[in-house]
A and B are shown apart, each in its own frame.
Chain A
Amino acid sequence: MTVLILAEHDGKQIKKATRQAVTAAAAWNAPIHLVVLGHELQAVTAEAAAIAGVSEVICVDAPALAHALAEDVAALLLDLAPKYQVILAPYSAAAKNALPRVAALLDVAMISDVISISAPATYIRPTYAGSVLTTVESSDAVQVLTVRASSFDAAANGPAANIVDHAALAALSSQNQARFVSATHTISDRPELASARVVVTGGRPLETRFDAILNPLAAKLGAAIGATRAAVDAGFAPNDLQVGQTGTVVAPELYIAAGVSGAAQHLAGMKDSKVIVAINLDPDAAIFQVADFGLVADLFEAVPELTAALVAE
């Protein structure tokens, strides 16, 4: 038996989520191969090959994969699939897009957002916005799953793995189905939300002062910034900052929620954070039920005060 992991990277670096997926894959006690798809992958491939526990890195490098479409990723994984009994990836936008396609073409079920692998085909995954943990067993010959990266430790570096070049399928399958047009990426010097050590999240009350209030605190803490759906919907923060059931799931060392009510859909995305701080005017806000340290206060005063207190250290 061999496990194949679809590596997550940004074209320059392997993402931490890939290392966390490697730890998840260790549950099978089987050889682990990584597949890296994209273009100009030398640096990424070398980094992937250094991850402990990985015995082979399959590099699929082609200009057409610089912005890989789900149709192509699925076709390439399907091409590799006959050698593997497990195909997994971190629960990212790219994998959520491509892996169900792979599963359907293999005629197997897919298991999304696995937080624990209790036995080789038995998984625990959250449902109902994290209000329920379900244990499911798959009887399919090939297991296709995504894993919640933050539920697993990141694998460190170890002995170098074999690197194998795999040619992109001669005619990428997407060509008569879909075409890449453009991409916009938020440019930020802050750490990536999904893997940041500290996250500072703002809710709807921040309104147009969202950045003015949160940026200084985030800068001081080296934190990523998150937002509630209400803040995003109202246009105070970009959508890729949304933390929650239908946004990004985070589990940082420190999570600071300012003006966040604590709806179940939001808690689903952050309640595994190590230390949670809530700043809210309403002493009965649901967020206080999960906060280690709750401060009943007006965030417009408390957040700048906290920022200043940290500066003074």
Chain B
Amino acid sequence: MKVLVAVKRVVDYNIRPRIKADGSDVDIAGVKMSINPFDEIAIEEALRLKERGVVTEIVAVTIGTAACQDVLRHALAMGADRVILLESDLELQPLGVAKLLKAIVDKEQPGLIILGKQAIDDDAGQTGQMLAALMHAGQGAFASSITVADGEAVVVREVDGGTETVALKLPAVITADLRLNEPRFVKLPNLMMAKKKPIETIAASDLGVNAEPRLKLLKAAEPAERKAGIKVANVAELVSKLREAGAI
């Protein structure tokens, strides 16, 4: 079975984003970029399914400019068999991404599609579910465990107050939560080898999909800082301050 994994290039999670002087957007010029952490978990899960003999081929795909090649190299270094760059300089939003991924799904016909549950830049958490909708397929969002058997994927999902298990007919779409696995460390020789592997590039505009953004970004701003508090000397002082504040 073939697995398609969708990955996104985002501002590294350790970086505190800066906002452009005119407040029009986040300034990512010269900022360290990385693979979205949840997408790395998605790749890791595909690798484990392959190691268990369930999966035969792992195809990683990303959408964006040529700069996004680095996350595909990362996917290759982790062990993806093949990678695709859907080249586009549109501002990509979840619905547009889902439509473009649907076009790739139609072309590649994977048995399973795994994505991260959310991208840590826009924090939207929509793409996987939207893709499943467009495919009229079942979805297993926020997965913490995946088993594939008898043409079904059995997914344990993290929900408010516990977990839920669903069985999905393949092809299905699964989004990876944090507890799904711990991604392997990419070794330097693998990264060097990945540099030599081919990246299939497709112009997104050739897919006949309208991926124009629907939401207009009017403004980006920093949230109001909390007023600095005080340090208390001991528990007794803490209790009296809390009482004064009416918190207890």
Chain B residues, Cβ within 8 Å of A126:
123, 223
Chain B residues, Cβ within 8 Å of A271:
223, 226
Given contacts A137-B215, A306-B235, whether A94 and B160 have CB atoms under 8 Å apart is yes
Is B216 in the interface zone, CB < 8 Å from A? yes
Determine whether the beta carbon of A178 is less than 8 Å from that of B178: no
Q: Which of A109, A245, A275, A297 contacts B214 (CB 8 A)?
A: A109
Is A233 in the interface zone, CB < 8 Å from B? yes
Chain A residues, Cβ within 8 Å of B239:
306, 309-310
A100→B117 CA distance, assembly (Å): 12
A174→B163 CA distance, assembly (Å): 19
Chain B residues, Cβ within 8 Å of A133:
220-223
Chain B residues, Cβ within 8 Å of A70:
129, 139, 141
Determine whether the beta carbon of A96 is less than 8 Å from that of B248: no
How many residues from B make CB contacts under 8 Å with A? Answer: 80
Determine whether the beta carbon of A177 is less than 8 Å from that of B121: no
| Most A CB within 10 A of own CB, among B11, B117, B245 | B245
Chain B residues, Cβ within 8 Å of A113:
123
A219→B167 CA distance, assembly (Å): 38
Given contacts A93-B158, A130-B223, A177-B168, whether A289 and B125 have CB atoms under 8 Å apart is no
Given contacts A101-B130, A178-B139, A265-B13, whether A128 and B26 have CB atoms under 8 Å apart is yes
Judged by DSSP, the binding face of B is: mixed
Minimum CB–CB distance from B122 to chain A (whole Å) comes to 5
Given contacts A128-B123, A253-B247, A310-B239, whether A93 and B17 have CB atoms under 8 Å apart is no
Determine whether the beta carbon of B133 is less than 8 Å from that of A275: no
Q: Which of B164, B217, B238 contacts A295 (CB 8 A)?
A: B238
Determine whether the beta carbon of A137 is less than 8 Å from that of B123: no
Determine whether the beta carbon of A101 is less than 8 Å from that of B125: no
* Chain A residue at minimum C-beta to C-beta distance from B153: A178
* Chain B residue at minimum C-beta to C-beta distance from A238: B162
Is B118 in the interface zone, CB < 8 Å from A? yes
Minimum CB–CB distance from B118 to chain A (whole Å) comes to 7
Minimum CB–CB distance from B128 to chain A (whole Å) comes to 8
A108→B152 CA distance, assembly (Å): 30
Determine whether the beta carbon of A112 is less than 8 Å from that of B161: no
Is B219 in the interface zone, CB < 8 Å from A? yes
Is B132 in the interface zone, CB < 8 Å from A? yes
A295→B238 CA distance, assembly (Å): 8
Task: List CB contacts (< 8 Å) of B161-179 with chain A.
Answer: 161-169, 172, 177-179
Is A5 in the interface zone, CB < 8 Å from B? no
| Most B CB within 10 A of own CB, among A137, A293, A294 | A293
Determine whether the beta carbon of A291 is less than 8 Å from that of B167: no
A169-192 contact mask (Cβ, 8 Å, vs B): 1 or 0: 000001011111111111000001
Determine whether the beta carbon of A245 is less than 8 Å from that of B120: yes
A136→B25 CA distance, assembly (Å): 11
Is B16 in the interface zone, CB < 8 Å from A? yes
Determine whether the beta carbon of B229 is less than 8 Å from that of A291: yes
Chain A residues, Cβ within 8 Å of B242:
254, 275, 277, 293
Is A12 in the interface zone, CB < 8 Å from B? no
Determine whether the beta carbon of B247 is less than 8 Å from that of A274: yes
Minimum CB–CB distance from A202 to chain B (whole Å) comes to 17
Determine whether the beta carbon of B161 is less than 8 Å from that of A186: yes
A292→B16 CA distance, assembly (Å): 23
Determine whether the beta carbon of B229 is less than 8 Å from that of A100: no
Chain B residues, Cβ within 8 Å of A221:
248
Is A52 in the interface zone, CB < 8 Å from B? no
Q: Which of A132, A176, A192, A292 contacts B220 (CB 8 A)?
A: A132
Is A305 in the interface zone, CB < 8 Å from B? yes
Determine whether the beta carbon of A293 is less than 8 Å from that of B139: no
Chain B residues, Cβ within 8 Å of A274:
247
Determine whether the beta carbon of A295 is less than 8 Å from that of B234: yes
Determine whether the beta carbon of B222 is less than 8 Å from that of A132: yes
Minimum CB–CB distance from A143 to chain B (whole Å) comes to 11
Is B136 in the interface zone, CB < 8 Å from A? yes
Determine whether the beta carbon of B130 is less than 8 Å from that of A104: yes
Chain A residues, Cβ within 8 Å of B120:
128-129, 245
Question: Footprint of B on A, CB under 8 Å?
Answer: 67, 69-71, 74, 92-94, 96-105, 107-113, 122, 126-140, 174, 176-186, 192, 194, 221, 229, 232-233, 239-240, 245-246, 248, 253-254, 264-265, 271, 274-277, 283, 288-297, 302, 305-306, 309-310
Closest 9 interchain pairs by CB? A178-B138, A177-B138, A109-B214, A100-B129, A100-B126, A104-B130, A292-B229, A104-B133, A185-B162
20 more A-B contacts (CB under 8 A) besides A139-B216, A182-B164, A276-B229? A70-B129, A70-B139, A97-B157, A103-B95, A122-B218, A132-B223, A133-B220, A140-B214, A182-B165, A186-B161, A194-B160, A232-B179, A239-B179, A240-B162, A253-B247, A290-B229, A292-B229, A293-B230, A294-B229, A297-B235
